[in-house]
Each structure stands twice: as C-alpha cells, then as structure tokens.
C-alpha cells in the first residue's frame, strides 16, 4: 500500500484515502471538432504506459477532495514527487 | 522399539511415550490425533508430541497416497498438514510443527481417505504412473465433460482439509501501527538488532512466529558470552521488555512486505489456548508502516534428494536436533546422518548424547576434516566419506539405508551398494536463506555459489537483511550483522550514530570446510528408472518429473513450476524449490543463476480469512444508509432492496400478497389515483458560482445557459468517449445557483467527475460543488390526484398548471415545513417531488399520507417505480445502458444540444465512425406474442431461433416486467439496428430450451404523447 504526500494537505497519507486518476498532463483539445477521428482517438484512448517514470493524477477523495499529480516509478512504485495540478514535475524521464 | 513400526491406530492411550527423553519432563497435556488419545507435555508442538508418542504416519501424499511422517520442525513442514478441531472453529491445513499443544486438542490428517493407515490410493500404487507431470493439463483439456468426474474423485482422494460450514465463532482485529525499526525474526541476529535499535530510543517492533523468542538458539547447545544459548536469549528478552520504546510480538508472523515499507503481521493471541476463544480476540493483523526494516528471518535447511526420501523416518538434520534439544524427543533409535556439510555433524553429537545409536555419518565429500567432524570421530562414530545415501527402504517407517561410493562431482555411483539398518535418516544439503520477505518487495534473489543458495537481492525499499537470511550461517557472524543492521536502521530513521564497532559477543568458533553442492543424489539407476526421488513432498513432485518436463520442452522456471506443481503446496516450496531449480538447471545444461528462481509473493505462510476480515463482517461489512422514513417503511412491512449502500423499499406487500400482486396494486394506484415514493436517495449536488451555468453546460449534453430560476431541465452526462454515464434533472435555484440530481448509485462518481474537470481542465471557471444528498428528504407524490393531495398540505404555492407547470419548481411550505417542490415525473403522471430538510422527512411523509387518505394514497417501492418508468420507456442508466450506449442508441437525440458553442464532454466522440454505424445496438420495446409471458432480463435476442448453435446474437433484454395497467408484459431491449426494425419478430432462446417470440415495438408503451404529466 502506497504512502502518498498530498501537496494540498502537506501530509503523507495512506493510499486508502486516494483514488487514481490516470496519466497527467493530457490537455483536452480546444477545438475537438477540428480533429479527425484518429487525432481525437489518440487523445481519448492512447496513453504512454511508461515503464519507469510516470506522471499521473491522484485524487484525495476522502481527504481534501483535490486532484494533484505524482511522479511515480512504475517499476518500483516509488513516488518521487507530488505537485499541484497546473505545475510541472521537477523529475522527468529525460533526466534519468 | 516395536512401537515405531506400529500404526498410530494401535497406540493405546496413556502408554509409555517411547521417544520422550527421560530428562525432559513437564505438565502432561492430553490430546487426540485421528481419534486416538495421546499425551504430550507443556511446551510441545503437535509435531513433537506425535513424535514422542511414536506416531510415524501423519498423512498421505497428495498424488500417490504414500505414507508420510513429520519431516521438519517449522514453517517448512510439508507432510504434517492437519485439520484442527471440528465444528464452527475447525481450522484446515495447519502445520503440526507450528501448532502449540493445548489440553484437549483434537487433530486429524487432512490427507488420507479413508484413513492414513489404510489408503486406497496407496493400494492403487500404479495410479501414480497415470499421473505424470502435466496430468491435470493433459487430462482435463479433453473431453471437457469428464472434468466433473475426475475432479470429484481427486478432491475426495486427496483433499486438503475441510473449511468450517458454520459462522466463525471468534473475533478478530486489525490495528495500524507506525515504528522506526521493525525487526522481523527474533533469532540471534534479530535479537541483537532490536537491542541496538532500542538503545538509540527508536520505536522498535520485533516480531517472531514462534511462541518464544530465540529462533535457532532455542535448540542450541552453544554458549554466548559465557551463558548457555537459551539463558542468553532469556536475558536479552528481559532487557528488551524493559524498554518502553520496544514492542515484542511473539506468535506473530510477518506475512507480507508491501510498497513503501508497509508490512502486515498476523499475531495469534489465543490459538495456543484452545480452538476458539469466546471472550478474547483470537488473532489480529498489525498493519505496520515502518521507517526502516531489519529482516532476520533465518534459513531453511535443504533436504537431500535420494530415492524414497519421503518414507517416515527421514527428516532434516536440524529438525532432529531441535526435537532432541528443545522438546526432549528422540524421533527414532538408530540414526544415519547424511550430509554434504560440516554443520549437520552437530546432529550426530546431539543424538549421541541421548544415548541412542548413531549408526554412521554418510558424507558426500571425499575428506571431511573440520573441527566438528573431528569431534564426531572422536566419539567413535563411523564417518563414511565419499559416499551417498542413495535410497531409503521401508514402508511406513525407514528400515534401512542403501549407501554407495559416489564420484567427486556427485553425479554417479562409483562402487558397490551396501545396506545399513536404521530407523531414522537425518539429512542436510546445506541451508537456503529465507529470502521471502525481501523478495516480496521486488528484490530479485541472487544465486551465490559460495553459500550454495540465493541471497537477498539489492534492496528496493528501506530494508536490510542480517544473519542466516543473508547467507551468514555462523553464530558470531549473525550476531555481528544483527547488531550492525539494528544500529544502521535506527540511525537512518533518525536515532543514534549508526554503524560503529560493537562489542563482539563471545562465542565458540569452529573451523569449517566447504560444503558440497549436491541437489540430486545419484542412484545406480537413471533418474527416470530409479525409485522416486522426491523434490516437493506435499505435491509429490519427483526429480524425474522435472526432467520429463524439460524433455517435453519446458524451459522457463515459472512454466516448469506450473506444469509440475513444484512449490504449489501450503509450504510454498520452502523445502523443495532450490533443489527443484538446480535439477531443472542441470537438465537444461545451464547454471542455476541462469535458470533463476521463482518469485515469492505474500503470504509467507497461510493467513486466516478471519484475521484479514477483522471487524469488517456482518453489519459492519459496509455502511448502510437509511432515509428519514426508514422506520415507517419497516412498520408498513416493506421489503427492502440494496441500492448502493442505501436501503430502499422494494415493495409494500399487504396481507397474503405476492410480490407481483403488490406491484400490480401499487402501479394501478399511481395510474388511477395517487401513489407516494421515498425518493430521498437520489444524489443531489448543490452547484454555485458565477460560472456555474457555463460549467454545467459543458458537462451535460444539453444547454443550461438559458435555464431561468424556477425551471428544471433533464440532461444526460456523457463520458468523453460519448457513452452515457449518468442522467438526471438539474434545477436553477437562483442566479448562479443550481441543484443537480444524479442517480442513486452514481452520486459519488458524478461529484468526483465534476471536480476532476473543474480542477484539472478549467480551474479558471469559478464554480463550487457541495453534496447535499443527505440534507434533503424527498417524497414523490404522483398520479392524477397528486395536485389535490399537495393542495391539502401546501397553501403558499399556486398549484395550477398555468402557474406551476411541468418542469417548474417552487419554494413553499408543506405541512408547516419549508420545502422545495419539483414538478418532474419519472412515472409519466402528474408528479410533485417534495423536498424538505432531512429530519422533517417522516413528519412531512405522514402528513402527505394523511392528506392522501381520501384518495387511497398508496406507498410504492422501487419495483413499481421500475415498472412505471419502463411503461414510459424511461431508461435507467446502468440497467438499460452499460457504458457502451450513446444518447442516439437510446433514441434520445433530443437531449443532445446541437447548437451549443462549447464542445461539451463527449460531443466529438458522437461523430466517430463507430458511433454512426447503422447496426449499433439500439433501444426498443419488446411485446411478447403471448401477453402473459415475461421475458427474463438479460435474455439474448436472435432473429432466427432455428439457427444452429452458435447462434448470431443480435441484442439482449435490459428491462422486463408485467404491466398491470397495460394488461400485458413489457420489455426494453437493445437490438442491432433496432430503430429500423419496428414490427419485426425476434426470439429469445432460453437455457431451459424454450424460445420466446416477441415483436419489436416503440419503447414508449404508455401515453406516447406525454399528455398525462402536463395536466
């Protein structure tokens, strides 16, 4: 069971308090109608499915009810950082 | 002594215990095994007591039905698998070596039908030849129909224990703990690790699976710091108890090591006192988040694989020593010790001290000459070097050992075979570190030729191993490593100075010679022709089976494990795995390092479901939610239905009514006069903020920008893939203030969905959400007489259709309580949904009932609600939709706002090519040709019921009821291209052979023009 630091609450809390929210930093296209089916399908269904560094959304669903992002190693499950939605990670796959 | 060759059934109660050493005394404890009364003494395990009583056969093997006896003394025991007690508290599949004896204990073998001593499987010895590796796979693939026959026979013949059929009488607990240093194992390394950590002031938990601390030292004759090992352990335990920052957990197994240093410990609090414990917690699970972990889990001695090494009387060398030294039990009379290493010679010394005979020590090495070897020789014991014990003989007890010279590599017999009479064979192939917990973390064990075993892999989490589990087998080394590990762990968690020079404990040191790596003892015959050389006792996996698997083309250790069932028993391969891997590596002509090992996963040893469930059972399993009128419903005899966590009235049966009778009556009352429904459970989300309308419009398929205060609108919420996710009415309460109704089950998901988009995609929109589901009670008054009922209890709202129309809402007072009334309808009738603050719910409900009395107002439940809405063709999200349905599929194009400027969630997906397909499953009505026949929900739909199986399935029934107001059955269904198939006949073939024909009709059965709710 993961131990997750909520950047809003500024505390480590048990995984039971959170829900997983999928890959982070996927921006909804501003003009969906301008995209062809393949481009829209890419936005809708395709994810990086990284082995190693992965940026993902978490939801403090039975805590502060705020979403935030985590940088997690999908091999070791180590959470390297958590940061607020709208900010950028300091640890990226490129740096490792 | 003759009793060693007798079966346990013939052991008389209270007879002399032939194997109890006279020096060992204690309080007598009576117990029974397979119905026979026996006696042990305080401090015994079930295994030591059985051995003391001369019980040879404790079970039968899984596949061949061979007699098996106690082999080990701890978690590695493969044979002594027993059923404890009977009735509600009975426990299956315990290891006799881990069951502490208590007065009145009843145990029986789990394997051995009809009895361990007369076993039909044993008689049909040839049956084993019919069950080669892959037997299950090969046999059960074809023909499939025979599976039931085989399965029944095999389960009965080789069953592994019986689960209790009554409710568990015991209580269990879970508790969450934090600590700085968790020490797993209280052997020499663990004890000193805990002491060093404790001295720094760190919070320490030390857990050990045995009843007392000490681990291997409990059976040791060595001295530490001038004290006998057991006395040294006692003094250290006393010291640890004195620390207020140390928690000692004996009888506690750390069974799982999970992410981020989260470990689970099963503490057995009363198992040693009796089968059940009425007034105490039997077991509890400690859920520990540890800053640092020291693993000091020890090692398992490795058996040697020789022919018929499974006959009762073959044991691990360390187990023989443990029974002698710790329990005062000598499990035989004439010992042959078979070893590849110096360490096991201790067993010859221990046995010699009992006064019983050491026939010989068989050593595979050419020239053993270490200190302890010399000590054995000095006693005049015959040490036969350069030999292998190639075969044990006997049936229910070892009678003799066949030995022969073997070559230096240990691969073949190089001389004449001779027999040694004996009744006990102690064997040792070296030691395998217990790397299980470090393996749980994902660390891959590393093969180390120098210790002939796997060491723990590189640490992934905040843990380190110390002592035998790290491959350090000498006592001085264990103590030094333990002390260092404890200090380092404490330091890393913020206590003490870390690693420093520790006062070394004074222990005797022995010069040892290297062991020989030997995983399969050669026989005069080839492996495939020699008598079975067992690798995994519990599942009867032999060396030849592993070689056969390789000949059949298996290469991966994970595949061979599954094909042969190696390591699948309740001991999870603690004894057999390393030998198995090595034999596999040899057959593949590659190294053990290349072959690798399988991955150990939790649980380390079996854990009871009771402990895992803890207090989360019965009515504490899941929260139950009640509405303010719940008691009223109960008083009226309502039957309830679970909707999420809510308890909703299902129907209100009157005297002598069936469910169908009640639903017919309730439905007709709504259609003809007036009914009342408790609709409290619908989700309600209060939405406020300057951008509320814009936000809601982005989330729903239709627009809310022009919705005026006092108005409501029905909308559908889609996921971004265009599929219907929830539906409900949203009301404009005032400027920038809305109330969103969701489905009962979808409320939490919808709130999370709104928050996701607001927080992550459109944080610039100012909008706030508050769940108010629990703040309001809702009573729906519906039917042609609904207005008359409301008029009697509400005087401050103008109720005429002109002033309060369909899809309006009004503030007012109902029965003296401030209320919001919504004119929305899920029945198709004139409806008023009366919302009042939750705690006034029952008062208002009763006032409405009183007001409606003259109209015979009828309370109805969810079943009637379903029938009424289905008559109107109103969908229920999650019943008529399944996450693959668009608004168009549901014939609800009217709910999609085509002219919205913002591309609402899901809109773009509605134009994807798959959404435009003509033969998508589409919602239709079905009318059975025989009016009384009600289709089963979930029935598959075909166009041609004469088609051969497999038929082309064209859709399925989603909702189906008998409609009393229409006088025939109705159903909703999704059918491929259904919207263009009105009038066609379809068929629903059922499992019982019937096929029901139905006509595709409009999904709106009742009042298709929608005139009744506009009055």
- In whole angstroms, what is the distance from residue B985 CA to residue B926 CA? 9
Report how far apart the first and last C-alpha atoms of chain B are (Å, whole number): 101
Q: Mean of the pLDDT values across residues B202-219?
A: 97
Q: Which residue segment(s) compose the domain that A63 sits in?
A: 3-95
CA distance B729 to B718: 14
What confidence score (pLDDT) does residue B378 get? 97
Whether the pLDDT of residue B255 is over 50: the answer is: yes
Please check the confidence at residue B705 and state whether its pLDDT lies above 50. Answer: yes
Q: What is the mean pLDDT of residues B679-685?
A: 97
Helix/strand/coil (H/E/C) assignment for every residue in A16-79: HHCEEEEECCCCCCCCHHHCCHHHHHHHHHCCCCCCCEEEEEEECCCCCCCEEEEEEECCCCCE
pLDDT in the model for residue B569: 78
The Cα–Cα gap between B222 and B188 comes to 12
Average pLDDT over residues B652-675: 98
- A14, B300 contact by CB (below 8 A): no
pLDDT at B961 over 70: yes
Instruction: Inspect the interface and report whether the beta carbons of A65 and B755 lie closer than 8 Å.
Output: yes
Per residue in B722-745, pLDDT tens?
999 999 999 999 999 999 999 999
Q: What is the mean pLDDT of residues B136-158?
A: 53
Structural domain count of chain A? 1
Is the CB of residue B288 less than 8 Å from the CB of residue B178? yes
Sequence ranges of chain B with CATH classification 3.30.1360.120: 630-675+779-805+812-868
Pick the more confident residue, B316 or B600: B316
Does the distance separating the beta carbons of A66 and B909 come in below 8 Å?
no
A32 touches chain B (CB under 8 A): yes
Judged by CB atoms closer than 8 Å, whether chains meet at B752 and A1 is answered as: no
- Paired with B258 in beta bridges are B262
pLDDT digit string (tens) for chain A, length 96 residues: 999 999 999 999 999 999 999 999 999 999 999 999 999 999 999 999 999 999 999 999 999 999 999 999 998 899 999 999 999 999 987 644
- Residue B36's contacts (CB-CB under 8 Å, 6 or more residues apart) are B8, B9, B11, B13
- Complex ipTM value: 0.97
Nearest-angstrom CA–CA distance, B101 and B40: 8
Give the per-residue pLDDT at B15. Answer: 56
Q: How confident is the model at residue B29 (pLDDT cuts 50, 70, 90)?
A: very high
Task: Give me the CATH topology for the region B171-296+433-492.
Answer: FAD/NAD(P)-binding domain (3.50.50)
Token digits for B90? 């009975």
Residues of CATH 3.50.50.60 domain(s) within chain B? 171-296+433-492, 302-430+515-526
* Cis check: omega of the bond before B114, within 30 degrees of 0: yes
pLDDT computed for residue B10 by the predictor: 40
User: Nearest chain A Cα to B752, which residue?
Assistant: A61
CB contacts, 8 Å: A75 with chain B: 442
Q: Which residues of B touch A67 (CB under 8 A)?
A: 755-756, 759-760
pLDDT digits (tens, 9 = 90+) for B484-493: 999 999 999 9
Res B983 pLDDT > 60: yes
Q: Alpha helices, DSSP H only, in B614-769?
A: 630-635, 659-672, 692-699, 747-760
Cα separations in angstroms, B365 against B362, B410, B474, B503: 9, 9, 20, 36
**Could you tell me which chain A residue has the CA closest to the CA of B748?**
A61
Chain A, 51-80: which have a CB under 8 Å from a chain B CB?
A: 57, 59, 61, 65-67, 75-79
pLDDT interval class at B138 (50, 70, 90): low
Provide the terminal-to-terminal Cα distance of chain A, rounded to the nearest Å. 25
Query: Does A19 sit within 8 Å of B752, measured CB to CB?
Result: yes
Q: Report the pLDDT value the prediction gives residue B590, as an integer from 0 to 100.
A: 94
Q: How far is A77 from chain B (nearest CA, A)?
A: 7
Query: CA-CA distance, B146 to B139, in Å (whole number)?
Result: 9
Overall pTM surpassing 0.80 (yes/no) = yes
Please write the tens of the pLDDT for every residue from B623-639.
999 999 999 999 999 99
Highest mean pLDDT among B54-68, B99-113, B850-864: B850-864
Q: Is the pLDDT of residue B9 over 70?
A: no
Which of B261, B721, B760 faces A57 most closely, judged by CB atoms? B760
What are φ and ψ of residue B77, in 5° steps?
A: -60, 120
Give me the half-sphere count of Cα atoms (radius 13 Å) on the Cβ side of residue B706.
Answer: 5
What distance in Å separates residue B643's CA from the closest CA in chain A?
A: 21
What dotted CATH number matches B630-675+779-805+812-868?
3.30.1360.120
Quick one: angle between helices B862-871 and B659-672, nearest 10?
A: 60
- pLDDT band at residue B157, thresholds of 50, 70 and 90? very low
Residue B445 has pLDDT above 60, yes or no: yes
Mean residue pLDDT across chain B: 92
Q: What is the model's pLDDT at position B898?
A: 83
Choice between B294 and B2, residue whose per-residue pLDDT is larger: B294
For residue B127, pLDDT over 50 is answered with no
**A82 vs A5: CA distance, rounded Å:** 7
Among chain A residues, CA nearest to B904: A32
Answer whether B912 sits within 8 Å of A67, measured CB to CB.
no
Mutation target to probe the A interface, by most A beta carbons within 10 A, among B259, B262, B288, B747 is: B259
Decide if B181 contacts B292 (C-beta within 8 A). yes
Q: How many CB pairs under 8 A join A and B?
A: 56
B916 and chain A: CB distance < 8 Å anywhere? no
pLDDT at B779: 98
B223-252 pLDDT tens trace: 999 999 999 999 999 999 999 999 999 999
CB A57 within 8 A of CB A69: yes
CATH number for B302-430+515-526: choose from 1.20.1630.10, 3.40.720.10, 3.40.190.10, 3.50.50.60.
3.50.50.60
Mark residue B261 as left, alpha or beta (left: phi above 0; alpha: psi -120 to 50; beta: remaining): left
Asked if pLDDT for residue B941 goes beyond 70, the answer is yes
Which residues of chain B neighbour A14 with C-beta distances below 8 Å? 289
- pLDDT per position as a tens digit, B159-170: 578 888 899 999
pLDDT at B252: 98
In the prediction, which pLDDT does B510 show?
85
Average pLDDT over residues B250-259: 98
Helix (H, G, I), strand (E, B) or coil at B711: strand
Instruction: Calculate how close chain A gets to B759, using CA atoms only, in Å.
Output: 7
Q: What is the DSSP letter of B134?
A: T
Q: What is the third-level CATH fold of B2-127?
A: Ubiquitin-like (UB roll) (3.10.20)
Torsion of CA B371, B376, B378, B381, to 10 degrees: -150
What gap in Å lies between CA B905 and CA B1001, rounded to an integer? 32
Mean predicted confidence (pLDDT) in B967-995: 96
Residues 719-758 of B with CB under 8 A from A: 720-721, 752, 755-756
**If you measure CA to CA, which chain A residue comes closest to B909?**
A40
The CATH number covering residue A58 comes to 3.30.2270.10
pLDDT higher than 50, residue B14: no
As a CATH number, domain B915-1014 is 2.40.30.110
Which part of chain B has CATH 2.40.30.110? Answer: 915-1014
């Amino acid at each position: 069971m993961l131990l997750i630091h909520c950047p809003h609450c500024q505390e480590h809390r048990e995984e039971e308090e959170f829900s997983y929210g999928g890959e982070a930093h996927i921006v909804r296209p501003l003009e969906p109608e301008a995209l062809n089916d393949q481009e829209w399908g890419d936005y809708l269904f395709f994810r990086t499915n990284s082995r190693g560094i992965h940026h993902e959304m978490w939801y403090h669903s039975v805590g502060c009810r705020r979403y935030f992002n985590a940088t997690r190693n999908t091999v070791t499950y180590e959470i390297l950082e958590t940061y607020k939605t709208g900010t950028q990670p300091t640890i990226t796959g490129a740096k490792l | 002594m003759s009793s060693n060759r007798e079966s346990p059934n013939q052991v008389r109660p209270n007879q002399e215990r032939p194997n109890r050493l006279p020096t060992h005394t204690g309080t007598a404890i009576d117990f029974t095994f397979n119905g026979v009364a026996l006696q042990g003494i305080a401090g015994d395990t079930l295994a030591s007591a059985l051995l003391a009583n001369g019980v040879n056969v404790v079970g039968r093997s899984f596949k061949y039905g061979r007699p098996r006896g106690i082999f080990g003394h701890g978690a590695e025991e493969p044979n002594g698998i027993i059923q404890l007690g009977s009735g509600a508290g009975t426990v299956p599949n315990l290891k006799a070596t881990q069951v502490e004896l208590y007065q009145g204990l009843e145990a029986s073998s789990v394997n051995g039908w009809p009895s361990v001593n007369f076993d039909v499987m044993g008689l049909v010895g040839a049956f084993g030849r019919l069950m080669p590796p892959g037997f299950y796979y090969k046999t059960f693939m074809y023909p499939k129909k025979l599976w039931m026959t085989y399965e029944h026979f095999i389960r009965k013949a080789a069953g592994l224990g019986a689960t209790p059929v009554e409710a568990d009488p015991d209580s269990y607990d879970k508790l969450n703990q934090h600590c700085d240093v968790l020490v797993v194992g209280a052997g020499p390394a663990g004890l000193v690790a805990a002491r060093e950590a404790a001295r720094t002031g760190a919070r320490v938990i030390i857990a050990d699976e045995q009843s007392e601390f000490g681990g291997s030292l409990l059976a040791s004759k060595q001295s530490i710091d001038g004290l006998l090992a057991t006395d040294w352990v006692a003094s250290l335990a006393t010291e640890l108890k004195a620390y207020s920052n140390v928690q000692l957990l004996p009888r506690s197994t750390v069974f799982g090591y999970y992410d981020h240093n989260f470990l689970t410990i099963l503490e057995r609090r009363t198992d040693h006192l009796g089968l059940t414990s009425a007034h105490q917690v039997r077991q509890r699970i400690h859920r520990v988040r540890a800053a640092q972990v020291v693993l000091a889990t020890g090692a398992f001695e490795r058996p040697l694989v020789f022919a018929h090494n499974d006959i009762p009387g073959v044991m691990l060398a360390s187990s023989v020593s443990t029974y002698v030294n710790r329990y005062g039990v000598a499990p035989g009379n004439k010992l042959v010790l078979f070893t590849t290493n110096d360490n096991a010679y201790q067993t010859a010394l221990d046995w010699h001290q009992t006064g019983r005979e050491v026939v010989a020590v068989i050593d595979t090495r050419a020239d053993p000459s270490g200190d302890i070897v010399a000590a054995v020789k000095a006693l005049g014991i015959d040490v036969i070097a350069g030999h292998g014990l190639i075969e044990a003989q006997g049936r229910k007890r070892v009678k003799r050992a066949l030995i022969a010279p073997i070559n230096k590599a240990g691969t073949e017999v190089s001389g004449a075979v001779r027999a040694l009479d004996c009744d006990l064979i102690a064997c040792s192939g070296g030691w395998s570190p217990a790397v299980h917990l470090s393996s749980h973390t994902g660390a891959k064990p590393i093969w180390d030729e120098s210790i002939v075993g796997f060491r723990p892999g590189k640490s992934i989490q905040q843990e380190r191993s110390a002592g035998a589990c790290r491959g350090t087998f000498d006592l001085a080394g264990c103590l030094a490593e333990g002390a260092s590990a404890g200090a380092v762990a404490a330091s890393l968690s913020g206590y003490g100075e870390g690693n420093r020079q520790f006062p070394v404990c004074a222990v005797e040191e022995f010069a040892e010679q290297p062991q020989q790596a030997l995983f399969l003892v050669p026989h005069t015959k080839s492996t495939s022709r020699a008598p079975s050389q067992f690798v995994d006792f519990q599942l009867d996996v032999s060396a030849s089976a592993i070689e056969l698997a390789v000949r059949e083309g298996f290469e991966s250790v994970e595949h061979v494990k599954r094909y042969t069932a190696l390591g699948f028993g309740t001991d999870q391969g603690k004894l057999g795995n390393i030998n198995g891997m090595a034999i596999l590596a040899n057959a593949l002509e590659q190294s053990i390092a290349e072959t690798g090992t399988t991955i150990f996963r939790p649980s380390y040893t079996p854990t009871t479901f009771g402990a895992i469930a803890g207090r989360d059972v019965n009515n504490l399993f899941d929260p139950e939610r009640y509405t303010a009128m719940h008691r009223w419903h109960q008083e009226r005899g309502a039957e309830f239905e679970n909707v999420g966590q809510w308890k909703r009235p299902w129907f209100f049966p009157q005297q002598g009514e069936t469910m169908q009778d009640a639903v017919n009556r309730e439905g007709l009352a709504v259609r003809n006069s007036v009914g009342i429904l408790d609709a409290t459970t619908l989700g309600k989300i209060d939405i406020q903020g300057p951008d509320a309308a814009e936000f809601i419009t982005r989330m729903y398929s239709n627009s809310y920008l022009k919705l005026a205060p006092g108005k409501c609108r029905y909308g559908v919420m889609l996921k971004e893939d265009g599929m219907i996710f929830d539906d409900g009415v949203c009301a404009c309460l005032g400027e920038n203030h809305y109330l969103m109704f969701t489905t009962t089950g979808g409320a939490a998901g919808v709130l999370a969905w709104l928050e996701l988009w607001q927080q992550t995609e459109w944080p610039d929109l100012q909008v706030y959400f508050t769940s108010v589901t629990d703040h309001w009670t809702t009573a729906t008054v519906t039917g042609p007489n609904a207005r008359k009922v409301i008029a009697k209890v509400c005087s401050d709202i103008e109720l005429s259709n002109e002033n309060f129309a369909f899809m309006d809402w009004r503030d007012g007072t109902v029965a003296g309580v401030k209320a919001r009334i919504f004119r929305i309808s899920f029945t198709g009738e004139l409806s008023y949904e009366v919302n009042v603050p939750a705690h006034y719910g029952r008062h208002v409900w009763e006032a409405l009932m009183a007001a409606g009395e003259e109209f015979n107002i009828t309370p109805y439940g969810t079943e009637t609600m379903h029938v009424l809405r289905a008559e109107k063709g109103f969908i229920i999200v999650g019943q008529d939709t399944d996450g693959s349905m668009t608004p168009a599929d549901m014939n609800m194009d009217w709910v999609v706002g085509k002219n919205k400027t913002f591309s609402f969630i899901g809109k773009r997906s509605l134009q994807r090519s798959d959404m435009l397909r003509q033969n998508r499953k589409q919602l239709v009505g079905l009318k059975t040709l025989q009016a009384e026949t009600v289709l089963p929900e979930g029935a598959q739909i075909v166009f041609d019921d004469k088609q051969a199986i497999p038929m082309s399935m064209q859709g399925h029934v989603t909702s189906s009821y008998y409609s009393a107001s229409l006088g025939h059955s109705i159903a909703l269904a999704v059918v491929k291209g259904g919207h263009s198939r009105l009038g066609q006949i379809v068929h629903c073939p059922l499992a019982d052979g019937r096929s029901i024909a139905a006509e595709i009709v409009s999904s709106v059965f009742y009042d298709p023009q929608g005139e009744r709710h506009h009055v």
